[in-house]
């Protein structure tokens, strides 16, 4: 298992739409393992493949000790609406309110290649929507008003210098233990200098 580097705002991979994963191979299972490890090291509740430089349509999440890996996820139902603050492991130190559905039903493929459905509410529902956006190249800052986005852009300009090559390196070891369940398993050399913020 490995803690992977996290790509930050400015890396073009965060703006790419992922393509459905054709099969759950050993490579995909290893990616999922490493994504869990990385999410726990970053103290996040979710992580999508593009955030670790991969184009598979896969994300992991763990809200209230419920680790889940979703492969080729799609939302079947959405209900309710609530505005609440979000952050993103790929845009450290930036926060903003986003309106999201309060209940979602999603379908995905598990690590054995079997389809399953989950119903989520509250923070878990918000997390699914945030991660699905990542798989479509969308970030939570895209929901900000123009004025808030300009302010955020200036703040990120200062913050981005900490991530040469748009790479965030994590310290291994900050690992939250997770139960292994059937549906879950639970760099760059920095050559590129940070350029103009992409906001
Ligand atoms: O995808 C990511 O960047 C991870 C991100 C997901 C997220 C989901 C829902 C709301 C906000 C952010 C995070 O894990 S941010 C950090 C975090 O651990 C957290 C966020 C909200 C509540 C509790 C923890
Ligand atoms: Zn994010």
Q: How far is the CA of 87 from the centre of ligand 1 (A)?
A: 6
> Which atom of ligand 1 is least distant from the CA of 88?
3
> Which atom of ligand 1 is least distant from the CA of 46?
4
The verdict on the CB of residue 46 being under 6 Å from ligand 1 is yes
Statement: residue 138 has pLDDT above 80: yes
Region class of 14: left (phi > 0), else alpha (psi between -120 and 50), else beta: alpha
- The first and second tokens of residue 91, run together, are 């845009």
Statement: residue 198 has pLDDT above 80: no
> Can you tell me the mean pLDDT for 157-171?
96
Statement: residue 141 has pLDDT above 80: yes
Per-residue b/e over 14-51, b at no fewer than 16 CB within 10 Å? beeebeebeebeeebeebbbbbbbbbbbbebbbbbbbb
- Give 172's DSSP letter: T
Statement: residue 189 has pLDDT above 60: no
> Can you tell me the mean pLDDT for 183-190?
35
**Cβ(65)–Cβ(83) under 8 Å?**
no
User: Which range has the worst mean pLDDT, 39-43, 147-151, 191-195?
Assistant: 191-195
Distance CA 187, CA 5 (A): 7
C-alpha 148 chain-centroid distance: 22
* DSSP β-ladder status, 82-86 and 167-168: unpaired
The residue assigned the tokens 């593009």 is 50
Statement: residue 194 has pLDDT above 80: no
Mean pLDDT over each residue of the chain, to the nearest integer: 90
Query: What residues act catalytically?
Result: 131
> Can you tell me the mean pLDDT for 149-171?
96
User: Which range has the worst mean pLDDT, 5-9, 86-90, 174-178?
Assistant: 174-178
Distance CA 133, CA 98 (A): 12
Residue minimizing CA distance to atom 16 of ligand 1: 44
- The first and second tokens of residue 148, run together, are 């808030």
Statement: residue 111 has pLDDT above 90: yes
Distance CA 132, CA 17 (A): 10
Name the band, by pLDDT with cuts 50, 70 and 90, for residue 171: confident
Name the band, by pLDDT with cuts 50, 70 and 90, for residue 183: very low
Statement: residue 196 has pLDDT above 70: no
Residues 95-107 have pLDDT tens digits of 999 999 999 999 9
The verdict on the CB of residue 86 being under 6 Å from ligand 1 is yes
């Amino acid at each position: 298992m490995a803690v992977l580097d996290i790509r930050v705002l400015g890396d073009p991979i965060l703006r790419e739409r992922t393509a459905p994963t054709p099969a759950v191979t050993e490579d995909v299972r290893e990616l999922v393992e490493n994504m869990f490890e990385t999410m726990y090291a970053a103290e996040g509740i979710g992580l999508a493949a593009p955030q670790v430089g991969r184009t598979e349509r896969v994300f992991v999440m763990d809200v209230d000790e419920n680790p889940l890996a979703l492969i080729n996820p799609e939302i079947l139902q959405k209900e309710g609406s609530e505005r609440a603050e979000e952050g993103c492991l790929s845009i450290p130190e930036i926060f903003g309110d986003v309106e999201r559905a309060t209940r979602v039903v999603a379908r995905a493929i598990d690590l054995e290649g079997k389809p399953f459905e989950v119903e989520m509410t509250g923070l878990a529902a918000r997390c699914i929507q945030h991660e699905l956006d990542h798989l479509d190249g969308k970030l939570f800052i895209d929901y900000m008003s123009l004025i808030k986005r300009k302010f955020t852009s200036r703040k990120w300009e200062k913050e981005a210098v900490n991530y040469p090559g748009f790479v965030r390196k994590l310290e291994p070891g900050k690992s939250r233990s997770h139960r292994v369940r059937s549906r879950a398993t639970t760099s760059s050399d920095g050559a590129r200098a940070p350029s103009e913020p992409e906001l």
